[in-house]
Structure 1
Amino acid sequence: MPNTKFFDLQINGYYGVDFNQDSISPDDLQVACQTLQRDNVESVLVTIITDDVQRMAERIASVVRLRSADPIARSVIAGVHVEGPFISDVAGYVGAHPVSHAKQATWGEMETLLEAGEGLVRIVTLAPEQDPTQTVIRRLVDQGIVVSAGHTDASLDQLDAAIDAGLSMFTHLGNGCPRMMDRHDNIIQRALSRSERLHIGLIADGAHVPFFALKNYLEITGIDRAFIVSDAIAAAGRGPGVYPLGDQTVTVGEDGVPRAEDDSHLVGSATTMQQMADNLRRHVGLGSSEIQRLTSANPRRLLGETVSIPLGLGLNNGDRQTTTS
């Protein structure tokens, strides 16, 4: 497969560097960005996860400041993805985010995070039930920011209201939810039922979503409406060990999967985008063009870029001609 230049819309850290630390050195950020380039990742959205709003704002401001001073970081970091704090505080749905800081959305707090980003906030993940009047969703969309549902147990009515208000994406489907849910009426099925109106994010490491389920999800959404993210933490590119994620420490075992100490949930991914692309070929049966679309073209299109994209793709149909969209 030709080297795809990946675009990762959700990355919490890389190569020993955690983007959710209160202080990241210029050297650390440069090393992370250089290693991303080495690993065929052309662009990323640095993801800042749930915490105290002021601490989140400081972390966003730190990334923005360091990026502005480093041409390599400016080249690699296309913006910021704010994941939380306006997410479900219910066990399972909150995932690895600190439950004490999950809360209902207010525009004042959202504005604090946006101001810290100085125009670089590109995606906000929130739970629709935490924005019951859709006020925050509408105002974000009005500013050209992509709004994504995630860490949510939104009902169909709540999901539909959010979509009507401009929500257009779903963050890492199949994660940020309990292991045990209703067989049929659950957030995964609700999101899939609206996939003609949502762009569906997936983590292709085989742990967050088993490969057979990933293939099923792609069959439902179609290649056009899906995209792959790494959700990488500092362990990505490094291997087993103990790594930071904000105020947490995460152990990555020999299987390369970061898990909570009680094994109740996963804590991001230690898998690189190149490894995920290899998984899509080997375990899901995709061709080069489908993989390029899921890992590069579709993420770029979500952020409004004009890209060269493959035509008429479905599962297992190999490479196709490309056109500009």
Structure 2
Amino acid sequence: MSGFVDVQVNGYAGVDFNSDDLTPELLRSACQRLRADGVASFFPTIITDDASSMMRRISRITSAVEKDAQIAELVAGIHVEGPFLSREKGFVGAHPPQHVMDAGVDLAMRLVDAGRGMVRLLTLAPESPGSSAVIRRLAEEKVIVAAGHTDASLDQLDQAIDAGLTMFTHLGNACPALVHRHDNIVQRGLAFADRLDISFIADGHHVPFFALANYLSRVPSERVVIVTDAISAAGLGPGTYRLAGQEVEVDPDLSAWAKGREHFAGCATTMPRMAELLKQKLHASDDQIDAWTRRNPGRLLAAAAG
């Protein structure tokens, strides 16, 4: 199976998209490896850092797209994950909490402007003060807005959807290991499965397959989006890698751990491997896998482009 569309890729095949050492040559090399692994389009993902670093990294990728046809063939947009996230431990995940900030239209538009039309998806926490205004403005700019790294209440999610929120980023992750048994962000996100496109990381580590099966039974198939959340380790295997300046240790089973092993830091599993796992572990049909890994994310790309 090929033609995958992945809207969350932090790096690939030894290349970290959040590194200040990223060059057009390195990005082209990553694109070539992604294409070899059956990926037709993807969003490089820029994660939380100080605002100037985020804007510089967005602009660097945009410049490479503008100047290199091989890169432009695969890079369909940029996903900005942060900095308007929850600061709470567990919810902030691998994002540096010192750079998380309240949502603001001015910074949101500076991030968008740094991409010169390439920023197509932004993930934020709907409970962040100022988020409603940011969501409305981004929606006006045709930027997809997703909830993620969040502990938003049902009311906050509902208000965010009314403001223009249309997606949830990697549900089941970016939350503490211990949460309320009923009223938690996973259950709240699933409560809006008929109004939001919901992405999942299908590596078996971020969400055990028995739990993923439960989630997928609640989410309409046309709203399921599989993402890799890949880091530079993807396609390479176990070892020590970098993600935006932090060290990530990848186990033999391809679990990618942040320092201290308190939480995951991205993913080392490729999209074709996720497709295999969905078939093997969940007995997903070829049509379901095609919808989740190509058609549904492809629809998001088309909406953001147009």
Could you state the TM-score of these two structures normalised by the residue count of structure 1? 0.92
Inter-CA distance 52–133: structure 2 relative to 1 (3 Å threshold): closer
Q: Which position in structure 2 is the counterpart of 1:126? A: 124
**Aligned pairs (5 A) from 1:80-91:** 80-91=78-89
- 1:58 is aligned, of 44, 56, 64, to 56
Q: CA shift at 1:81, angstroms?
A: 0.3
Cα distance in 1, alignment partners of residues 302 and 154 from structure 2: 27
Would you say how many aligned residue pairs link Structure 1 and Structure 2?
Answer: 304
Cα distance in 1, alignment partners of residues 185 and 211 from structure 2: 15
Q: CA shift at 1:133, angstroms?
A: 5.7
Q: Which position in structure 2 is the counterpart of 1:195? A: 193
Cα distance in 2, alignment partners of residues 133 and 57 from structure 1: 19
In structure 2, stretches of 5+ residues that fail to align are: none
2:220 corresponds to 1:226: no
Structure 1 residues 177-186 or 261-270, which shifts more?
A: 261-270
- 2:10 is aligned, of 9, 12, 37, to 12
Q: CA shift at 1:132, angstroms?
A: 4.4
What is the identity, as a one-letter code, of the residue corresponding to 1:282? Answer: Q
- 2:203 is aligned, of 202, 205, 213, to 205
Structure 1 residues 295-304 or 134-143, which shifts more?
A: 295-304
| SS of corresponding position for 2:76 | strand
Cα distance in 2, alignment partners of residues 133 and 249 from structure 1: 31
Cα distance in 2, alignment partners of residues 212 and 133 from structure 1: 34
Cα distance in 1, alignment partners of residues 300 and 29 from structure 2: 27
Higher relative contact order (CA 8 A, sep 6+): 2
Q: CA shift at 1:70, angstroms?
A: 1.3
Alpha carbons 1:237, 1:271 under 8 Å: kept: yes
CA offsets, 1:229-280, max 9 Å, x none?
0000000000111111011011111111111222210000000000000011
Alpha carbons 1:132, 1:158 under 8 Å: kept: no
2:151 corresponds to 1:160: no
Cα distance in 2, alignment partners of residues 246 and 235 from structure 1: 13
Cα distance in 1, alignment partners of residues 180 and 18 from structure 2: 34
Alpha carbons 2:2, 2:40 under 8 Å: kept: no
CA offsets, 1:33-72, max 9 Å, x none?
0000000000000100000011100000001111222111
Q: Which position in structure 1 is the counterpart of 2:250? A: 252
Alpha carbons 2:226, 2:293 under 8 Å: kept: yes
Could you state the TM-score of these two structures normalised by the residue count of structure 2? 0.97
**Aligned pairs (5 A) from 1:63-82:** 63-82=61-80
Q: Which position in structure 2 is the counterpart of 1:109? A: 107
What is the identity, as a one-letter code, of the residue corresponding to 1:234? Answer: S
What is the identity, as a one-letter code, of the residue corresponding to 2:200? Answer: L
| SS of corresponding position for 2:80 | strand
Cα distance in 1, alignment partners of residues 195 and 302 from structure 2: 16
2:53 corresponds to 1:45: no
What is the identity, as a one-letter code, of the residue corresponding to 1:35? Answer: R
Alpha carbons 1:23, 1:62 under 8 Å: kept: no
Cα distance in 2, alignment partners of residues 271 and 133 from structure 1: 32
CA offsets, 1:112-159, max 9 Å, x none?
111110000000000001144600000000111100000000011111
What is the identity, as a one-letter code, of the residue corresponding to 1:95? Answer: G
Structure 1 residues 246-255 or 12-21, which shifts more?
A: 246-255
Alpha carbons 2:44, 2:78 under 8 Å: kept: yes
- 1:139 is aligned, of 117, 137, 151, to 137
Identity of aligned residues (%): 50
Cα distance in 1, alignment partners of residues 153 and 232 from structure 2: 34
CA offsets, 1:56-113, max 9 Å, x none?
0000000111122211100010010000000000000000000001110111111111
Alpha carbons 1:5, 1:296 under 8 Å: kept: yes
